Amino acid sequence: MRSIAGDSCLADAHQRLLRHRALFAFRFLVGKAVELQLSGSGARYAGVLDCVDPDDFSVVLKSAKQLSADTEAGEPFESGSTVIFQRSQIAHLVADGSVNYADGVVGAGGASVAGGFRTDTEISGRQGDHLYGRELQTATSWLDPALDSGELEDASSNGRRHSKNQGKAGWNQFEANEKLFGVVSTFDENIYTTKLDKSKI
**Distance in Å from the first CA to the final CA of the chain:** 98
| Spatial separation of the C-alpha atoms in residues 188 and 171, rounded to whole Å | 18
For 77, half-sphere exposure in the C-beta direction (CA atoms, 13 angstrom radius) is 20
Assigned CATH topology for domain 4-95: SH3 type barrels. (2.30.30)
Residue 144 three-state SS: coil
pTM confidence score: 0.44
Residue 105 is predicted with a pLDDT of 47
For 151-193, what is the HEC assignment?
CCEEECCCCCEEECCCCCCCCCHHHHHHHHHCCCCCCCHHHCC
Residue 126 is predicted with a pLDDT of 64
Digit-coded pLDDT (tens) for 27-42: 888 888 999 999 888 8
Q: Is the pLDDT at 163 greater than 60, yes or no?
A: no
Location of each CATH 2.30.30.100 domain in the chain: 4-95
159 Cβ contact partners less than 8 Å away, ≥ 6 residues apart: none
Residue 186 is predicted with a pLDDT of 85
Q: Is the pLDDT at 160 greater than 50, yes or no?
A: no
Digit-coded pLDDT (tens) for 53-64: 888 889 999 999
What is the DSSP-derived secondary structure letter of residue 113? S
Q: Is the pLDDT at 15 greater than 80, yes or no?
A: yes
